[in-house]
């Protein structure tokens, strides 16, 4: 779909002649498109309803990955985000598992429904990340997993007889948990984010934020932001993918003020002021998870789920996946890059993970 109109926010009466680039029609004709003044109601805007109905019928899928050292509250946060027991810890019976020797990737899928909208949510957990003594290259299994999902999708897409709806297992969003040391980012954090920000949307999150006071929190956040910038790490929402001015101002505000979100997770409810709220009970008070004065969980939830969910999926599909695909079709095949059906055929998968795109 092309960007139809230059500006949808002015009045309906437009009178510019906009020449359109036409993709070689069989009979080359005068390429003129005019903005017509409508003399009455046609009903074009009903397409919105039609589209909405269709998408509700087919359902959505969303794959979120959580990465961080063990004990940072990843599983609890995911449970809090989706208000149900969707994490790995909840699904397995054994609540006290041993820390694995290598990074494992565990994906668990659930179907949740709200307001007629069905969503297949897959939570991908990475136990063992950053927990060994020698953590070199511990991001490699994760990168491999992400690329494997792209590969699966690509294979389906290249098939002659394609499925009507290709199952989407690609990772749409990766929450990276930063330990609340109060000082700065660890080398492991920087390395991980540097490698993975090029293949997946990374949202850095400061975990267990109830260990910091307000001033400590804001200083830490500033320092983290600075460090990320200095190291050239583009976290979601990436600056280069802002589509128009409105997006840019909105995203700038998020990037420069709110991120990284300092969150607290909890799946226990307590009574506060006559209301039942999710919180953590401590001798000195109850930390309300959804209270904006206490922590930024509500901001994270609104950001990821209520406003940018679709955008996360689109950036993954239109940018990260396309980058992977382009690299894949170019690499190791001796094939000429560019157009032509021959360019569509896949060369063998390289033994090492694909070099991440620039």
Partner 1 sequence: MEAEANSGSPEDSWAFFQRPGEGCRTVPLAGHVGFDSLPDQLVNKSVSQGFCFNILCVGETGLGKSTLMDTLFNTKFEGEPATHTQPGVQLRSNTYDLQESNVGLKLTIVSTVGFGDQINKEDSYKPIVEFIDAQFEAYLQEELKIRRVLHTYHDSRIHACLYFIAPTGHSLKSLDLVTMKKLDSKVNIIPIIAKSDAISKSELTKFKIKITSELVSNGVQIYQFPTDDESVAEINGTMNAHLPFAVIGSTEELKIGNKMMKARQYPWGTVQVENEAHCDFVKLREMLIRVNMEDLREQTHSRHYELYRRCKLEEMGFKDTDPDSKPFSLQETYEAKRNEFLGELQKKEEEMRQMFVQRVKEKEAELKEAEKELHEKFDRLKKLHQDEKKKLEDKKKSLDDEVNAFKQRKTAAELLQSQGSQAGGSQTLKRDKEKKNFF
Q: How far is the CB of 264 from partner 1 (least distance, A)?
A: 16
Q: How far is the CB of 272 from partner 1 (least distance, A)?
A: 15
Q: Is the Cβ of residue 56 or residue 99 nearer to partner 1 in the bound state? A: 56
Residue given tokens 């396309």 in the structure block: 322
- Range list of β-strands (E), 83-166: 106-114, 117-125
| Site for partner 1 contains 109 (CB under 8 A) | yes
| Site for partner 1 contains 160 (CB under 8 A) | yes
Q: Which stretch binds partner 1 (CB under 8 A): 184-192, 203-211, 255-263, 344-352?
A: 344-352
| Site for partner 1 contains 271 (CB under 8 A) | no
Distance CA 184, CA 206 (A): 11
Distance CA 19, CA 31 (A): 6
Distance CA 161, CA 57 (A): 23
Query: Tell me, what DSSP letter sits at residue 87?
Result: S
Bridge partners of 113, per DSSP, are 118
Q: How far is the CB of 68 from partner 1 (least distance, A)?
A: 22
Q: How far is the CB of 249 from partner 1 (least distance, A)?
A: 15
Q: Find how far residue 94's CA is from the centre of its chain.
A: 29
Alpha-helical regions (H) of 95-186? 140-158
Note whether 147 and 199 are within 8 A (CB): yes
Residues within window 177-236 making contact with partner 1, judged by CB under 8 A: none
| Site for partner 1 contains 292 (CB under 8 A) | no
Residues within window 296-325 making contact with partner 1, judged by CB under 8 A: 301-302, 305-311, 314, 317-318, 322, 325
Per-residue binder mask for partner 1 (CB under 8 A), 61-100, x = binder = -x------------------xxxxxx----x---------
Nearest to 208 by CA among 256, 270, 261: 261
| Site for partner 1 contains 23 (CB under 8 A) | yes
| Site for partner 1 contains 268 (CB under 8 A) | no
């Amino acid at each position: 779909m092309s960007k139809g109109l230059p500006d949808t926010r002015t009045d309906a009466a437009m009178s510019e002649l906009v020449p359109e680039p036409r993709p070689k029609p069989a009979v080359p004709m005068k390429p003129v498109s005019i903005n017509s003044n409508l003399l009455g109601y046609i009903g074009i805007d009903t397409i919105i309803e039609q589209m909405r109905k269709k998408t509700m019928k087919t359902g959505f899928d969303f794959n979120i990955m959580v990465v961080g050292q063990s004990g940072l509250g990843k599983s609890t946060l995911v449970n809090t985000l989706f208000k149900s027991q969707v994490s790995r810890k909840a699904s397995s019976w054994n609540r006290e598992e041993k820390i694995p020797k290598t990074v494992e990737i565990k994906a668990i899928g659930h179907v949740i429904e709200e307001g007629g909208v069905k969503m297949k949510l897959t939570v991908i957990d990475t136990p063992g990340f950053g927990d060994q003594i020698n953590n070199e290259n511990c991001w490699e299994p994760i990168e491999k997993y992400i690329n494997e999902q792209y590969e699966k999708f690509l294979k389906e897409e290249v098939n002659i007889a394609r499925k009507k709806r290709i199952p989407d297992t690609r990772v749409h969003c990766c929450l990276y948990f930063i330990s609340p040391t109060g000082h700065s980012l660890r080398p492991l954090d920087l390395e991980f984010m540097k490698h993975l920000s090029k293949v997946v949307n990374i949202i850095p999150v400061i975990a267990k934020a109830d260990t910091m006071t307000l001033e400590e929190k804001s200083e830490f956040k500033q320092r983290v932001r600075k460090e990320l910038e200095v190291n050239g790490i583009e976290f979601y929402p990436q600056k280069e993918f802002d589509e128009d001015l409105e997006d840019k101002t909105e995203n700038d505000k998020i990037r420069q003020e709110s991120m990284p979100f300092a969150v607290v997770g909890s799946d226990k409810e307590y009574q506060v002021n006559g209301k039942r709220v999710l919180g953590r009970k401590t001798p000195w008070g109850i930390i309300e998870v959804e209270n904006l004065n206490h922590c930024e969980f509500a901001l994270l939830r609104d950001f990821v789920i209520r406003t940018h969910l679709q955008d996360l999926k689109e950036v993954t599909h239109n940018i990260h996946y396309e980058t992977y695909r382009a690299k894949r079709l170019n690499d190791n095949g001796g094939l000429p890059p560019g157009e032509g059906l021959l360019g569509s055929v896949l060369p063998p998968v390289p033994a090492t993970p694909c070099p991440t795109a620039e």
